[in-house]
Amino acid sequence: MTKAEIGTNVKDIMTRDVVTVKENDTLQDLLGLFKKYHYHSYPVVTPEGELVGAVNEDIVLQCLLIGSVPSAMFGRSITMFLGEDAKRIMDPHPITISPNASLEEAATLMIKNSINRMWVVVEKKLMGILSKRDIINEIYGKRY
């Protein structure tokens, strides 16, 4: 199957209904989300829906283990995890993509950055999420 045969853009297969986190949500709030939904990461958004960061399992795990794991094991500054709200512990530079991007572009970005999902944005506003599984399912569905 050629690239032209796939012919799908991110907007065609992205998940639009995304569970989000507010900047002032506490670590306890985040733990509740991880338990309830079993997602690996959550976007942090402003009241206007602008994406300002992301919180993932690695960040939460680091927060939970901070008292018992040497700081040399963390790639980020240990003081980052002493905050109790999403704004202070989030990754402020999540990888994003346009809804009009091709699936090839999305897959290339995911592979290059070793990530399994990315946030779909238009002018900083969160529109959805796209995962590697979404791309695989789309290509598989068209091939078989």
CATH classification at residue 110: 3.10.580.10
Give 19-74 as a DSSP string: --EETT-BHHHHHHHHHHH--SEEEEE-TT-BEEEEEEHHHHHHHHHTTTS-GGG-
Q: At which residue do the structure tokens 């991110």 appear?
A: 10
Which residues span the domain enclosing 63? 3-143
Give the global pTM: 0.81
Burial class (CB in 10 A: 0-12, 13-18, 19+), 12: exposed
Give rounded-to-5 percent helix, strand, coil for the chain: 45, 25, 30
Q: Are 20 and 45 in contact (CB under 8 A)?
A: yes
Query: How many independent structural domains does the chain possess?
Result: 1
Give tens-digit pLDDT for 85-131: 899 889 999 999 999 999 999 999 999 999 999 999 999 999 999 99
Interatomic CA distance for residues 119 and 131, integer angstroms: 9
Going by C-alpha positions, the residue among 29, 15, 35 that lies closest to residue 90 is 29
Q: What is the CB-side half-sphere exposure of residue 62 using CA atoms within 13 A?
A: 22
Query: What 3-state class would DSSP assign to 77?
Result: coil
Give pLDDT tens digits for 15-69. 999 999 999 998 889 999 999 998 999 999 999 999 999 999 988 888 887 644 4
